[in-house]
Amino acid sequence: MVEHLGIEYIEVGADYIIGRMPVDNRTHQPMGFLHGGASVVLAETLGSIGSASCVNLEQCAPFGLEINANHIKSVRSGYVYGKASLVHFGKNTHIWDIRIENEKKRISLYQQTNCCHST
């Protein structure tokens, strides 16, 4: 999915990750705007990669438990940029705040909870 939608990782820090996704025919809904589902894929990808970068993957496999999405604005072209910031890092759960914007405006807000399963 990541490759198909053209999602790229720009920067990974200790408690955040930034990525971008093109707004084009792969990510449009039928009316030519960014599809809300594509935005959710970007958000969940960033939150999931964020959790994976914070744990020992030989001991823990992070999985999405819940995601809340709020779509605020629409966009037809260009790129959208997502930043996932770690809010809570517990033994079994991680909570991420994810904001997606383009160069001009905030597009959507998310909160994602991941759980960590022993491998």
Amino acid residing at 23? V
Mean per-residue pLDDT over the chain, rounded = 96
pTM given for the model: 0.96
Q: Of residues 8, 44, 66, 101, which has the active-site annotation? A: 44
Could you tell me which of 84, 80, 2 has the C-alpha nearest to residue 41? 2
Distance, in Å, from the CA atom of 82 to the CA atom of 47, rounded to the nearest integer, reads 10
Domain region containing 30: 2-118
Q: How many domains does the chain have?
A: 1
The residue to which tokens 């990808």 are assigned: 45
Rounded alpha-carbon distances, angstroms, from residue 72 to 8, 11, 57, 106: 23, 25, 35, 7
CATH number assigned to the domain comprising residue 14 = 3.10.129.10
Residue 44 appears among annotated catalytic residues: yes
Lowest-confidence range among 43-47, 59-63, 77-81, 94-98? 59-63
Give the pLDDT confidence score for residue 119 in this predicted structure: 84
